[in-house]
Amino acid sequence: MDIMVTKKDRIAIIPARGGSKRISNKNIIDFQGKPLIAWTIEAALQSQMFDKIIVSTDSMQIAEVAEKYGAVVPFLREQYADDFSPVSAVIVDALEKIAPHSYKVVAQLMPNCPLRDAKDIQNALSFFETNSFDFQISMFPFGWINPWWAYKIESKSKPIPLFSDDLRNRRSQDQEPLYCPTGAIWIAKTDKLMIERSFYGKDFQSYIMNWQNAVDIDNYEDLEMAEALFLLKQKRQ
């Protein structure tokens, strides 16, 4: 008996270059018993929200790991694998190689966000499609770090405030909340992304996540924090 397959018209793309500097081979280092990228692939698969989940990489080693955990690697990336190319260019490049008009919605899932889970992906896509946005960037609220108190340090250790005295000197509970982008879940209508070539497209909107699930791992300090949060979540379950 044939099984009916529901067309979702959505694709997830995981950009994972091999030349990470701050943590060597970051995308496939061990994180709680699995390669780091495996957590993102499994969250995308478990969400059951996508027709296809692909990894765009320039590394054969990453490609082999990605395929082992259930992603598709239809090509090895030959450009946008440096430290300067915007990640949106990687997504557009991937779409151009695999027929962008086959999918109405594209989700970019960074492989260095292992605590973002299937439920986060489901909720983000539901919010995006319910509100009929063109572009949506995942963000989290600043907590114990208060950007309103931020300074930059000039020569001779001189602190220069980034905000006015009026904003800095309010009690923390009286200041407006501020939010930070995270690479956990970026979503766009595919046709709009192919035109604007950036998830920060015209009138992009935000999707607010809790900061624990939104952690990006860029350096070893981030890795230690993510591991501590993972263990804490396991303890609470």
Residue ranges covered by each domain of the chain: 10-140+179-236, 143-176
Neighbours of 62 (CB within 10 A): 24
CA distance 213 to 229: 9
Looking at every residue in the chain, the average pLDDT score rounds to 91
List, in sequence order, every residue forming a beta bridge with 195; answer none if it has no partner: none
Exposure letters 89-120 (e unless 16+ CB within 10 A, then b): ebbbbbbeebebeebebbbbbbbbbbbbbeeb
- CATH number for the 10-140+179-236 domain, one of 3.40.50.2300, 3.90.550.10, 3.30.70.890, 2.60.200.30? 3.90.550.10
CA distance 18 to 68: 17
**Mean pLDDT for the stretch of residues 101-127:** 96
The confidence score (pLDDT) of residue 188 equals 97
pLDDT tens per residue across span 133-153: 999 999 999 988 888 889 999
The confidence score (pLDDT) of residue 2 equals 35
**Mean pLDDT for the stretch of residues 14-23:** 87
Closest CA to 59 of 85, 81, 32: 81
Residue 5: pLDDT band with limits 50, 70, 90: very low
The confidence score (pLDDT) of residue 145 equals 84
Distance of CA 71 to the CA centre of its chain: 16
pTM: 0.90
List, in sequence order, every residue forming a beta bridge with 56; answer none if it has no partner: 15
Of residues 147 and 185, the one with the higher pLDDT is 185
